[in-house]
Amino acid sequence: MPNTAGMLIYSPISCPAVTDEQIRQIEGDEPEFITRHISSDKLPAARQGFYRFGTTAGYAPKDAQLNPGRLSDIQEGRQLQAFRSRNGHFKRFAIGEGVLTNVSLVGFEHDVVVHFKANDYCSCSSIGEFDPTRAGQLKARGNPDIGGFVTYNLRRLRLAIREIAKETENLTQMKVIGRQVTYGHKDLKWEVEDSFDHDEQRDSLAIWLGISFVKSHAYQHEEEYRLILSDPAKLGRLSEDTGVWQVTDARIAAAIVASGVF
């Protein structure tokens, strides 16, 4: 059967703590400006310094729950790695404390699918100043409610968010991590030997980066720059029950360089 899994294994992200220097390496160069596209009725609040962080888990589409184990680069907040034995049989497949022995899975496209999930506070914008052509594409391709924009000086915005987080209970330990989104394949397919230890192959930080900063080619028109707010000691381990974080602050308003409707 197409795009089906014989066995689905959920595996939590467990990244090692990252240092400030590692965060700088993750981020790379940043643009001078980023632009958020919003509904026009929210423009007055945005001009007053309203800012909202959703969560990567919260952006996951409903079909991720309806079709567990289905590979789709469109889904947010997770990465799937599909494994097929070269000879159709696993003498041993180990991941974490789980071990499959002497298993043959017949009639599935993928023998074993490992589902990695991560969750952090997340804010999505477009790179650069407002572009009416890009805004029109965003509106036409799944965002009919947008009609306003706010452009920020990114350095000033990040400084404001960092200062506000330090003053906010439960956010004091968090860092702002920004990076341009890469467009490509999030989910991975592997053909492996019949004895395979997944832990030996696993790079949890690379998986977190793939979940947080890689999106399908279908979204290239967004030209996205993403801000992640996360505890560097616990990347990707924000509770999935966490709601949005939103704030109104004059320091965020001071980072605005342009705004309007389109």
Which among 196, 226, 188 is positioned nearest to 95, based on CA atoms? 196
Residue with the two structure tokens 């310094």: 49
Answer whether 131's CB lies under 8 Å from 25's CB: no
At residue 97, the pLDDT reads 67
Which residue intervals of the chain are DSSP H helices? 20-27, 43-47, 63-66, 132-140, 154-166, 198-201, 204-213, 250-253
The three-point CA angle 101-107-112 to 5° equals 40
Q: Enumerate residues 6+ apart whose C-beta is below 8 A from 182.
A: 213, 214, 215
Whole-number Cα distances in Å, 173 to 27, 92, 141, 165, 235: 19, 41, 37, 8, 12
Residue 66: predicted pLDDT: 42
Residue corresponding to tokens 């004091």: 172
DSSP state of 32: S
| pTM for this entry | 0.83
- What pLDDT digit, counting tens, does each position of 67-114 carry? 444 444 456 667 888 888 888 788 888 876 678 788 787 777 778 888
Q: Are 212 and 168 in contact (CB under 8 A)?
A: no
Which pLDDT belongs to residue 71? 43
Whether 11 contacts 97, CB under 8 Å: no
Both tokens of 28, joined, read: 């790379």
**Position 35, amino acid:** T
The span from the CA of 206 to the CA of 192, in Å, is 20
The two tokens of residue 1 are: 């059967």
Mean pLDDT by 10 residues, the chain (262 residues): 68 87 92 98 98 88 47 61 83 77 78 86 97 96 94 98 97 97 84 78 82 89 97 94 96 98 96
Smallest CA-to-CA distance from 18 within 227, 234, 186 is with 234
pLDDT attached to residue 259: 98
Point out which residues pair with 38 in neighbouring strands: 148
